[in-house]
Amino acid sequence: MKVEKEIIDSMSKNPDNWEGVFYVNRKDPRIIVPKINPSFGWTLNLGHETT
């Protein structure tokens, strides 16, 4: 669903989900996310929960 993808993509762009250089967002289902500036590559979602 396009709307859901846009919401998930916007999560990594939200500065509130970043603690310094670390991305922490329990609501984001992705393990690997683009950095706030995508030209810098990817990082891990340290808030991702494994079940």
What gap in Å lies between CA 51 and CA 34, rounded to an integer?
Answer: 23
* Domain parsing of the chain, residue ranges: 2-44
CB neighbours of 22 closer than 8 A, spacing ≥ 6?
43, 46
| This prediction's pTM | 0.80
For the segment 17-42, what is each residue's pLDDT rounded down to a tens digit? 999 999 999 999 999 999 988 899 99
- pLDDT greater than 70 at residue 51: no
Residue 50 pLDDT exceeds 70: no
How far is the first Cα of the chain from the last one, in angstroms, to the nearest whole number? 24
For position 3, what pLDDT does the model report?
74
